[in-house]
Structure 1
């Protein structure tokens, strides 16, 4: 048998909580107050529990908003990460997972063949950063170039760069999949330079950062990599593509009838 529904809040109290914009406290209040009466809680305990509900609700809402704003590509987290199958050493995985490097404004560069878990690992770190009350922005080199290019049109480049660098962690994914022209190299450099020693940058690439001058103008590539790798963790992945191996094994494939 289900327990009886707690009595609704008096209209006057409900209105006050709405005016004060305490939606999570207001939602929890009927049950909390009913429990408090039945168990004769101390008034301070009632206040603590109600305010705790509001804080928890607001924190959850903030994280949801930050995940949406970050523009993650797939939503992959450590819950689906198979650490034992990665070529990244366990010690390195554990060290980076503490996120202490973000607090020190250090960078992360993960380079290696396609399908070796680079993006999955970095996205899992980025999700963990949001769970630890940090802000994250996720780009590919193409979307970053588009954002900076759009800002050039209306003269808001400085404001756009400042907004991006307001995040604790800025990710640029899949560098090297396509050649990068002058505009892409310039956009990438602007972010790296603005974030240098102030924010953390994480990049994934199928080529070593020292080879970025093979896909973008050499002068910009040199200046960018110099700042990127100073105070950086460089992780090299290896092995066969996990995606290709799963495809060959038929995993994730739905047979046609």
Structure 2
């Protein structure tokens, strides 16, 4: 015989409340142990569901971004690279330039941290809810040239079009011809 918990799990699945579906037993035990009111109990369940959904969305955006590695601003060594102003980078971390549709270009010789900073800004943008695409110039040119004949390239270009932020790496490493 199916109990009410099983029905709740089925309803949660139908409503795509995945966190509730997985943790209903834990929620009920906590609610009983803490003598939560109905409002508090429902609030806790819905609040945790929202948090879990946002985390899943963030993980999806992170996966779709295509970063070769994850880099953060906290990992960047501003002492090693004194020509980069921490104040300017912190200003960029506010991300208002994305909404204003400004372009950023990091110029410099290899090894100064351009890719690290670009990925760190992209990671922060994902954390703030933006869709990000990271691609090397070589892969971008290849995808543009082959989008009409290769499904994978077309999907990649469409993903780039739907992104709020596109990070193109290694621009200077590839001769660009028409």
Q: Tell me if the contact between 2:95 and 2:125 (Cα under 8 Å) persists in the aligned partners.
A: yes
Instruction: Deviation per CA, 1:204-230: give whole Å up to 9, x if none.
Output: xxxxxxxxxxxxxxxxxxxxxxxxxxx
Matched residue, 2:101:
105
* Structure-2-length-normalised TM-score: 0.87
Matched residue, 1:16:
11
Q: Tell me if the contact between 2:133 and 2:159 (Cα under 8 Å) persists in the aligned partners.
A: no
Select the residue among 45, 49, 52 that pairs with 2:47.
52
Q: Tell me if the contact between 2:58 and 2:129 (Cα under 8 Å) persists in the aligned partners.
A: yes
Structure 1 residues not aligned, in runs of 5+: 1-7, 183-257
Whichever of the two has the greater Rg, that structure is 1
In structure 2, distance between residues paired with 1:72 and 1:172: 11
Structure 2 residues not aligned, in runs of 5+: none
Equivalent residue runs for 1:114-193 within 5 Å: 114-153=110-149, 161=157, 163-182=159-178
* Structure-1-length-normalised TM-score: 0.62
**RMSD in angstroms over aligned alpha carbons?**
2.4
Comparing both structures, which one devotes a greater share of its residues to strand?
1
Select the residue among 28, 33, 43 that pairs with 1:33.
28
Q: Tell me if the contact between 2:67 and 2:119 (Cα under 8 Å) persists in the aligned partners.
A: yes
Q: 1:84 to 1:25 in 2, by over 3 A?
A: farther
Q: 1:61 to 1:95 in 2, by over 3 A?
A: same
Q: 1:9 to 1:78 in 2, by over 3 A?
A: farther
Q: Tell me if the contact between 1:25 and 1:50 (Cα under 8 Å) persists in the aligned partners.
A: yes
Q: What secondary structure does 1:139 align onto?
A: strand
Point out which structure has higher relative CO (alpha carbons under 8 A, 6+ apart).
Answer: 1
Q: Tell me if the contact between 2:147 and 2:157 (Cα under 8 Å) persists in the aligned partners.
A: no
